[in-house]
A and B are shown apart, each in its own frame.
Chain A
Amino acid sequence: MATTENPLQKAHDEEIVLETGIGPAITGDFEVPLGVKPPRKSVWGVFREMPVLVKMGTFWLLIVLFSSIYAQLDTKVFNGSLPLADPNLQLNGFNPATGEFGTGAPLESPSWDQPLGTDALARDSFARAVHGSYVSVTVVVVSVTCGVVVGGLLGSLVGFVRGKTETLVMAALDVLLAFPALILLLALVSMFEVRDLFVISFVIGLLSIPAYSRVSRANSLAISNREFVMAAQAIGTKRWTILRREIIPNVLPTLLAYAMVAAAAVIVVEGTLSFLGLSVQLPQASWGNMINQARRDIKANFGQVLYPSVIMTLTVLALNQVGDFFQRRGAHRGSSL
C-alpha cells in the first residue's frame, strides 16, 4: 500500500492536521486531483480495482444498507410479515400475534432461530441488530447530505470568489469548529430533550458542516488557479456557470471520499449518544443502546455485548477503508498526469 504513494509528498501533507469538529482530523491529503477528467469507469470496473480488504468493506457496507432498508420495509410496508423476527417482541412473554405465551428465554446463546441469541428481555438480538442498522444509516445519510450540500457549496463558493466573503464565512465556521462537538451535541440533545432520529441526525449534520467546507474550500482554491478556469473566465463565462460546471464537479470526488471517512465518525458519535441513552427512544433498537443494555449482563452473556460491538466496529472500519481507497484513487489520477 505504502509503495504506491510518494512517501515524501504524503508525509508532507500529513503535517497539516486540522481539527474538524465532528469528523476525523483532516490530515491534509483530502486535496488533490486537480481538474483532470478521469477516464470514466463503470461501477464494476472501480470495484475490480479495489484491494481485497476494500472489496470486503464495500460488501459489508452494502449488507448494512440492505438491512436498514429491509428493516424499514418490514415495519412500514409489510407490517412485520417479512421473514424477520419482531425486534421488540419478548420471546418469553405474551405474543399478541399468536395469542400465546412464548417459550423463549432471556440471554440465550445463538441458535438457528435466533442467530445472535436473545437479549436480557428475551428479544431476538439479530432482529434488533438489523433494525439498529436503520438508525446508523439514517444518521449517516442525513448528516452526509447536510455536509456535502451545504458545506460543499459553501466551501467551493468561497474558495472561488475569495475576498471578504471568504474571510467572513471561514471565521464563522472556525467558531463552530472551536466548539467540542460532542459536548455541544450532548447539551443540545439533553436540554431540548430531542429524541427524534431525524432531528438528531440533522444536528450532527449541522455540526459537521465546517469540516466539509474546509475540505471543499482547499480544493476549490487549487482548482480556481487552473488553466481551464482561467480560460473559462477569459471567454467571459458567468461566475455562477464556472462554479457549477468547472469547480463543483472537480471538488466533488474528493469531498465524497472525505464524506465516507466522516460518516465513520458520525456512526461513532451516534453510537456514543445511544450508549449514553441520549439518542433514539427505547424500545427502538440502535447498536449503541444494544451495547449499553447488554453490558449489565456482561458476566452472564458476553456475546450480547460482543455482537453489536463487532457490527459497529466493522462498519466504521469499512467506511474508513473504502473512503481511504477513493481518496488514494483520486490522488493517483491527479498525479499520473
Chain B
Amino acid sequence: MAKTIAFVLVRLIATLFAVTFLTFSLTALLPGDPVDTILGTGPRTPGIEEQIREDLNLDDPFIVRYVSWLGNAVSGDLGQSYITDQPVSDTIRQRLPVTAQLAFMSIFMAVVVAVPIGVLGAYRQGKWQDSTTSAGVQVALSIPNFIVGIFLIWLFAVQLNWLPASNWNRLSDGVADNLKTSILPASSLALAQMALFSRLVRSDMIATLQENYILSARAKGLSDRYILFRHALRPSSLSLMTIIGIAFGALLGGTVVIETLFAVPGLGLALISAINSRDILVIQGITVFIAAMFVIINTVVDLLYAVFDPRIRRS
C-alpha cells in the first residue's frame, strides 16, 4: 500500500514538473521580443518595459527563469497581467468557484439521471427499454456540448422565454436566482457525461446481475427494486467513482466553450478573454493552473481507487 502511494506521488510530482515546464516553455518559445508580446496591444506607460524585464528576470537564462517562476507559482504567485494590472492568482480565485459550481452541478445532474437509466438498461437487457435508452445514449454522446447549449438557449430562452440566455447570478445572490442562470450551462455539460455514466452503469450491472449473491437475494424473496439498488449497484460504485473523477478533470477544460456561450464568468471565460486580448501571462497562468488541477484530480482518483479496491492494493 505504502509502495503504491509513494509511486503515485512520485509520478504526480514528475508529471507536474513536466506540465509546468511545457507551459512555461510555450511562452519562452514565442518569437519576437517578450516585452512586446506581453504588452500586446495594451497601453504602454513609460518605464513599464524595464519593469517587465526586471519582474520576469528576462535577462536571465531560461532555466533560471523557469525555476524562479515555478517557485513563485508554488507559493501561489502566477505573476500579473500587464494589460489589466490584476494578479493572475486573483483572477483565478474569483473565477474558480463559478467553474467549480458548474462542474459539480453537471456531474450531480448526470449521475442522478444516469444511474436509473443504466439500471433500467441492465434490468431489461435486450428489451425495448434497453434498446431505446442505448440509442439515446449513442446520440447524446455524439452531440458536441456547445450545440446542446445552443439548442437549450433556443428552446428555453428564445421560444419559451423561461430562462435567460446568458448572464450569471452568483450563488450569494440567492439560490433561486443562481439556479436560473446556471441550469442551462450545467445541463449542456451534463448530457454527454450522463450518457457516459449510464453506459458504464449498464455494462457493470449486467455483469453483477449474473453473480450468485444476486440469485440468493432473489431466492430470499427480496423485491427486484431492493436487489437492484441495494445489492447490485454497490460494486458499480467503484468504477463510477473513477469515471466521475476523470469527468471532473475533463470538465475543467470543457467548460471553456460553454462559459463563453452562456457568458458565465468562470475560469474558461477568463481564459478566452485573455486569448482575445492576447494577454500572454494570463493565458499561461490559467493554463498551468487548469493543467495542474487536472493532474492532481486524476492522481487523487487513482489513490482512492487503490484505497478502495483491495485487488489493486495487493498488487
Contact = CB atoms under 8 A, between A and B. Distances in A.
Q: Are A and B genuine complex partners?
A: yes
Given A7-B207, A178-B15, A183 B147 contact: no
Interface string B283-301: 1100100110011001000
B4 interface: no
Chain B contact-residue range equals 35 or more
A187 B151 CA distance: 28
A180 B138 contact: no
B22 A295 contact: no
A271 B145 CA distance: 10
A68 B154 CA distance: 30
A189 B210 CA distance: 50
B139 A317 contact: yes
B254 A184 contact: no
A178 B19 contact: yes
A247 interface: no
A43 to B, nearest CB: 25
Nearest to B146: A275
A298 B298 contact: no
A187 B144 contact: no
Given A175-B18, A191-B283, A317 B142 contact: yes
Interface residues of A, number: 48
A164 to B, nearest CB: 16
A168 B87 CA distance: 38
A191 B285 CA distance: 13
Contact of A313 (B26, B143, B204, B275): B143
Given A178-B19, A178-B295, A190-B275, A8 B150 contact: no
A165 B151 CA distance: 49
B134 interface: yes
Interface in B239-295: 239, 242-243, 246, 249-250, 252-254, 256-257, 260-261, 271-272, 275, 278, 280, 283-284, 287, 290-291, 294-295
B131 to A, nearest CB: 7
Contacts of B246: 17, 19, 25
A183 B253 contact: yes
A320 interface: yes
Interface string A288-299: 000100010011
A19 B253 CA distance: 14
Nearest to A320: B142
Interface string A170-212: 0000110011111110111011100000000000000000000
A312 interface: yes
Contacts of A178: 15, 18-19, 291, 294-295, 298
A234 interface: no
A305 B154 contact: yes
B27 interface: yes
B126 A2 contact: yes
B105 interface: no
A132 to B, nearest CB: 14
A187 B144 CA distance: 21
A316 B148 CA distance: 14
Given A17-B242, A191-B30, A186 B291 contact: no
Nearest to A180: B253
Contacts of A187: 23, 26, 283-284, 287
Interface in A296-337: 298-299, 302, 305, 309, 312-313, 316-317, 320-321
A2 B243 contact: no
A191 B27 contact: yes
A278 B276 CA distance: 10
A72 interface: no
A17 B256 contact: no
A235 interface: no
B119 to A, nearest CB: 14
Nearest to B235: A15
Contacts of B78: none
A294 B306 CA distance: 48
Interface of B: 11, 14-15, 18-19, 22-23, 26-27, 30, 125-126, 130-131, 134, 138-139, 141-144, 146-147, 150-151, 153-154, 158, 196, 199-200, 203-207, 210, 239, 242-243, 246, 249-250, 252-254, 256-257, 260-261, 271-272, 275, 278, 280, 283-284, 287, 290-291, 294-295, 298
11 contacts: A12-B207, A19-B250, A25-B243, A175-B19, A178-B15, A182-B256, A183-B287, A291-B147, A295-B150, A295-B261, A320-B142
